Chains A and B, each alone.
Chain A
Amino acid sequence: MSVLRAAQGDRAGAAPANLHRRAGVGAGTRLRAYAARVVPPLVLLGVILAGWEAAVRVFDIPFYILPAPSRIAGVLAGDRALLLGEAAVTLGEVLLGFAIAFVVGVVLALAIFSSRTVERAVYPLVIASQTVPVFAIAPLLVVWFGYGTLSKIVMAALIVFFPIVVNTVDGLRAADPDMVNLLRILGAGPAEIVRRVRVPAALPFVFSGTRIAIATSVIGAVIGEWVGSTRGLGYLMIHANAQLHVDLVFAVIVYLSVMATALFWTVSLVEWAALPWRRAETAAQAEGEV
């Protein structure tokens, strides 16, 4: 609360000395608020891991049923080169798939937005395509695109595609009609209105779609690797599981979740950097609630 007060004081041009003192309190409060958010999940994770470790030791569970966290940590360290190599393959598939789906998705969204005919023709099919489970078409993709990376890239792209299209279309429609009218009065043509109002208004929607899409695209690539491949974390996982290297399976799971989380935060970071005005809005809203 004192952070917000300080911000308010700044705006009203309060006495500098007073402002300084308040800002000092604000920094401490912010650190405490950050700790309050980060510490509980870390403590919970620690308790779970400790309980897991203790259970494995007390009940003497064999590693091919349930490996202890310490053993998984050992694999993570020992097989680092193997894991990183396969992770790089999977990450490449995810990023390429995402890039393709993003470009195609945004272009299609613009077409759906600008043309009634395209919307009527394409939109129902786009939505219907989501009812087909990705697992069901994965073997087909391998048949069509082979055992190489291409089938996995297509898989990841298919998963990313839908949230990108839907969110972008929603975003393009979200612009305030009065703002659109304002641009019209100022003499802007349709293309200029899209560029100056529609697209900027759509960006927050595009980013939330992307955040969801990129985390799930990892699932797409891994399923593709399960069904048929010779590289990647999904392949490593199936292989390790068949040989009862359950500790390695767990190590792969750790890699996959770290990868998905990192991608999620990367998108958030890009959004943070690209849309400074959204930060201004969030700050103003928080202040309004005080």
Chain B
Amino acid sequence: MAAALEITGLRKRFRRDGEWLDVLAGVSFDVGPREFVTLVGPSGCGKSTICNVVAGLVRPDAGTVTVSTGRVAYMQQKDLLLPWRTVLDNAILGLEIQGTPRAAAHEEARAMLRRFGLEGFERTYPATLSGGMRQRVALVRTLLCRRELLVLDEPFGALDAMTRAAMQGYLLRLREEFGRTVLFITHDVEEAVLLSDRIYVMAARPGRIRAERRLDLPRPRRATDPGVVTEKAAILDLLHAEMSEAFA
């Protein structure tokens, strides 16, 4: 079966303060259809640059990005809700731009907001919502773009631990209920192990794929499951080895 996303030999350099910085030095990986794949790595390993390349915001110096399903939906740590739009109107932003009539879009969004526990907040403005609720609205907006591949760049990075745990539950639905393919970025190893089918561990400066881990652990997973604990320890070992190399 063809991959939903295939990346080969991705290279990117940025100029910062007059010096060239190797951000990505030949990154290759793939994401299968309906797969949940996570990139974990220390900060500065170019995770966000990969996302920006996949989303089409940054042009790579070398390498190819093939998205078999066309365009992607992108969600970042910042919820980027438009403050002048209500929750409902923020949710339909993608549909509206694609030309869906507002009434039909509203109907679809209402149902979706209900499933994400946002019923009764359709008419409120984002400013009055908590961080977790705002991210859920952003998630609904991302889902309603009707795009097969979702690129999620640390979407819960700014949330507290409790809210984060709740959000992970919502995220798992993306695949189970909506059958989406997810490329997920996080620096939280436990989060990665709880959610993913496969994990790519990255090395920093310049960014490379250091290891690939396939997780055949049963779902639903809990942080205390022996399999989860073992996998988490293995990935942390990889990351620690990477960090000590980087600082040696």
Q: Which residues of A contact B (CB under 8 A)?
A: 11, 176, 178-179, 181-188, 192, 196-197, 200-201, 203, 275-277, 280-281, 283-285
Measured CB to CB, the closest approach of chain B to A178, in angstroms, equals: 6
Which of the segments B20-28, B79-87, B104-112 contacts the partner chain?
A: B79-87
CA distance A283 to B57 in the complex (A): 35
CA distance A184 to B93 in the complex (A): 12
Find chain A residues with CB under 8 A from B82 CB. 179, 196-197, 200
Residue in A185, A277, A281 with the greatest tally of chain B CB atoms within 10 Å = A185
Residue in A182, A184, A277, A283 with the greatest tally of chain B CB atoms within 10 Å = A182
With A178-B76, A178-B80 in contact, is A185–B55 under 8 Å at CB? yes
Within 8 A of A (CB), among B92-147: 93-94, 97-98, 124-128, 145
B124, closest chain A residue (CB): A280
B83, closest chain A residue (CB): A277
Find chain B residues with CB under 8 A from A192 CB. 97
B86, closest chain A residue (CB): A277
Contact across chains for A281 and B83 when beta carbons are under 8 A apart: yes
With A277-B125, A280-B125, A284-B127 in contact, is A187–B98 under 8 Å at CB? yes
Find chain B residues with CB under 8 A from A201 CB. 84
With A176-B80, A178-B76, A277-B84 in contact, is A187–B125 under 8 Å at CB? no
With A178-B76, A181-B57, A277-B125 in contact, is A186–B84 under 8 Å at CB? no
Contact across chains for A284 and B128 when beta carbons are under 8 A apart: yes
Contact across chains for B80 and A182 when beta carbons are under 8 A apart: yes
Interface size range of chain B in the complex = 20 to 34
Find chain A residues with CB under 8 A from B72 CB. 185
Inter-chain pairs besides A196-B93, A277-B125, 4 sampled, C-beta below 8 Å: A181-B57, A182-B74, A185-B56, A281-B83
Q: Which 5 A-B pairs have the closest CB atoms?
A: A280-B125, A281-B127, A284-B127, A200-B84, A280-B127
The one of B76, B97, B124 in contact with A186, judged by C-beta atoms closer than 8 angstroms, is B97
17 chain-A/chain-B pairs, Cβ below 8 angstroms = A11-B128, A178-B80, A182-B74, A182-B80, A183-B93, A185-B55, A185-B72, A186-B98, A187-B94, A196-B97, A200-B82, A276-B125, A277-B83, A280-B125, A280-B127, A281-B127, A284-B128
The one of B78, B94, B128 in contact with A178, judged by C-beta atoms closer than 8 angstroms, is B78
CA distance A88 to B71 in the complex (A): 59
Contact across chains for A187 and B127 when beta carbons are under 8 A apart: no
CA distance A283 to B85 in the complex (A): 16
Find chain B residues with CB under 8 A from A187 CB. 71, 94, 97-98
Find chain A residues with CB under 8 A from B78 CB. 178
CA distance A285 to B71 in the complex (A): 37
Find chain B residues with CB under 8 A from A200 CB. 82, 84
Contact across chains for A283 and B97 when beta carbons are under 8 A apart: no
Measured CB to CB, the closest approach of chain B to A175, in angstroms, equals: 10
A10, closest chain B residue (CB): B128
Measured CB to CB, the closest approach of chain B to A288, in angstroms, equals: 10
CA distance A185 to B55 in the complex (A): 7
A200, closest chain B residue (CB): B84
Measured CB to CB, the closest approach of chain B to A155, in angstroms, equals: 35
With A181-B57, A200-B82 in contact, is A277–B93 under 8 Å at CB? no
CA distance A176 to B98 in the complex (A): 22
Measured CB to CB, the closest approach of chain B to A77, in angstroms, equals: 46
Find chain A residues with CB under 8 A from B76 CB. 178
Within 8 A of A (CB), among B144-160: 145
With A178-B76, A197-B82 in contact, is A184–B57 under 8 Å at CB? yes
Contact across chains for B125 and A188 when beta carbons are under 8 A apart: no
Contact across chains for B93 and A186 when beta carbons are under 8 A apart: yes
Within 8 A of A (CB), among B44-83: 55-57, 71-74, 76, 78, 80, 82-83
B57, closest chain A residue (CB): A181
Residue in A201, A280, A285 with the greatest tally of chain B CB atoms within 10 Å = A280
Find chain A residues with CB under 8 A from B124 CB. 280
Contact across chains for A275 and B84 when beta carbons are under 8 A apart: yes
B96, closest chain A residue (CB): A196
CA distance A176 to B84 in the complex (A): 13
CA distance A125 to B124 in the complex (A): 43
Measured CB to CB, the closest approach of chain B to A5, in angstroms, equals: 15
Find chain A residues with CB under 8 A from B55 CB. 185
